[in-house]
Amino acid sequence: WNCNAFLDSCVLRDIDNKVSSGGAMLVQQASALLTNCLLSHCGAVAGGAVCATEFSSCSMHYCTISQTFAYVKGGGVAALDGSSLTLTDCAISDIAGSSLYVEQSQAFIRR
């Protein structure tokens, strides 16, 4: 894998991932930077909007996450399996389940 993804001013919505993690985005053995993005009406097994897993790094700046859910863990965003998740100036609302789920990983929340 070892890829980088950069998303700026994107709208990711109406995605229902019933078989895997990361409704709008799965970051697996990679890094991702999302800036000024809207993630809405998304769902997944873990991390309804975004899931960072398998030693990944995901940074989200000025993003809005709303109306997301998870079938198992982390209705909003999730960091699993040694990953790192950073949220700066993000708005998270109307989540079914926990807004943030961290398991054997680290999360940094600013403002």
User: Are residues 87 and 110 in contact, defined by beta-carbon separation less than 8 angstroms?
Assistant: yes
CA dihedral sign of residues 109, 89, 2, 17: positive
pTM summary value: 0.92
> What are 54-102's pLDDT values in tens digits?
999 999 999 999 999 999 988 899 999 999 999 999 999 999 888 999 9
Q: What gap in Å lies between CA 18 and CA 11, rounded to an integer?
A: 20
pLDDT at 6: 96
Residue 3 has pLDDT above 90, yes or no: no
Average pLDDT value over all residues in the chain: 94
8, with CB counted inside 10 A (0-12, 13-18, 19+), is exposed
Structure tokens at 11: 């709208």
Residue 1 has pLDDT above 70, yes or no: no
